[in-house]
Amino acid sequence: MKMKKYIVDTMPEAMKLIRNELGQDAVILSTKTVRASGLAGILRKHKIEVIAAVEEDKVQPKEPVQVPPAVIQTMPRNAVPEVYRKAGNFNEKETIAQSLSETNEIKPKATLQHKTQESEEFPSLPAELQPHPEGADFSVSSRQEQLNGEMEAGSLTEKLLQEISQMKTFMATLAESQSNEASLPGNLNEIRTKLKDQGIATDIWSSWMDSAKRTIQVSEEEAGESIVRPLIEEFLSERITDGINKSTRIVYVAGPTGVGKTTTIAKLAAEQMFKHKRKVGLITADTYRISAVEQLRTYAAILGIPLEVVQSPADTIRALDHLSDCDLILMDTAGRNYRNEITVSELKSLLPDDPESELVVVLSLTAKTEDMLTILGHFHKYGTPKLIFTKIDETDTLGALFNVLKQYPSKLAYITTGQNVPEDIMLPDPKKLADFILGSEPS
């Protein structure tokens, strides 16, 4: 098959080139508008990209048919699809004559009866070119041209409306931004800057500012923090939980590579042993990294708790049976690229569905908010996991924590504050996190 692309101003022009170069058996595969991107595209002339094809053995180039001047002078306007006159922006008489002669492969008669007014009847034209009162009903080829033209006109209109909508959205965003930057009473301007610098999403901090503006008095120069702090703490209080439930027997710990998952599991084991007096067992399925198995084996030896290594769902069932006398079993899963939904589904298929189990996803506060949201979006298709945020000691911003908790209904279970086992882990404290956001690190 021979294919060729044409960039033209109008569909009749494209049809002329296709007939001349590819022959009568050519078919149009696609059409689309070509124009400049962005706002500048509104002011520039549009082009039409047409892709046509024909079987190799049917390529029959031919010379264009010359149209006698008489036809150009007597062809009425309503014999041509309206969309060509609207969107084409071409020399009407010449293009009409070329389109009709080339599309229908006829040689016009030498003369046609000239009429001073446009007529509804065309005795000298073939029947397939006779227009009907409700619109022209052309031959198959001509009808295809009409439909293509209508599609192009509709596409142009739709894209123009899209650009206008984008302009409106941009103007609305600009107006909102200017409104957000307006001077606030008291020391709210300073607090707003801190919240923005933390990377907290605009819809979150702007709602706090709106609430504060309704409360603060102009004369209260330093009252802003005392009003905003309770709003921050309330936001967090609604989205945290007290670690691992007492009724939970199995905790599956998952997370992307490099978030400190294995170290976090060792901290959880120590916390459950020393603080809650529970007998703990460990399972690791992270056989992708030999170092991860050895690391967890070392922690298990230090804490004096059993460890099982598994490589398949069958191994996992056996390991759970071996640890049946434990009050709590922590399972370390392989660190994978969970931005891929298939990886998340594979993980879920490997984990036994136990009513006394729960899934915990470990995320690093040094990662991008967008990546965290993508990962959690995949996990939430299979349930609602709890969250552990690591590496708070390696960042100066907590915006990602707030943005993730706002987007998804997951509860925050723990925060890790360093690499030391077992001490560098804490339950989330709204007051300490508010201190961090407003200028002082959590103690």
- pLDDT digits over 401-439, tens only? 999 999 999 999 999 998 888 888 999 999 999 999 988
* Euclidean distance between CA atoms 188 and 317, whole angstroms: 56
The per-residue pLDDT for 304 is: 94
- pLDDT digits over 35-89, tens only? 644 444 445 567 888 888 887 766 555 555 454 444 444 445 554 444 444 444 4
The per-residue pLDDT for 288 is: 66
The residue type found at 175 is A
Which CATH number applies to 250-427?
3.40.50.300
The per-residue pLDDT for 291 is: 74
287: which DSSP letter?
T
- pLDDT digits over 81-131, tens only? 444 444 444 444 444 445 444 444 444 444 444 443 443 444 444 444 445
CATH 3.40.50.300 boundaries in the chain: 250-427
pLDDT band at 392 (very low <50, low <70, confident <90, very high): very high
Q: How many other C-beta atoms are found inside a 10 Å radius of the C-beta of residue 167?
A: 12
* Euclidean distance between CA atoms 112 and 223, whole angstroms: 90
The per-residue pLDDT for 52 is: 84
Task: Please give the radius of gyration of the chain, using alpha carbons only, rounded to the nearest integer.
Answer: 35
Residues near 309 by beta carbon (within 8 Å), at least 6 away in sequence: 283, 284, 285, 287, 293, 315
pTM (whole model) above 0.75: no
pLDDT at 361 over 50: yes
The per-residue pLDDT for 223 is: 65
What is the mean predicted confidence (pLDDT) over 10-36? 80
Residues near 395 by beta carbon (within 8 Å), at least 6 away in sequence: 365, 366
Q: How far apart are the first and last CA of the chain?
A: 73
Q: Is residue 199 within 8 Å of residue 369, measured between CB atoms?
A: yes
Residue 426 exposed, middle or buried by CB count within 10 Å (0-12, 13-18, 19+): middle
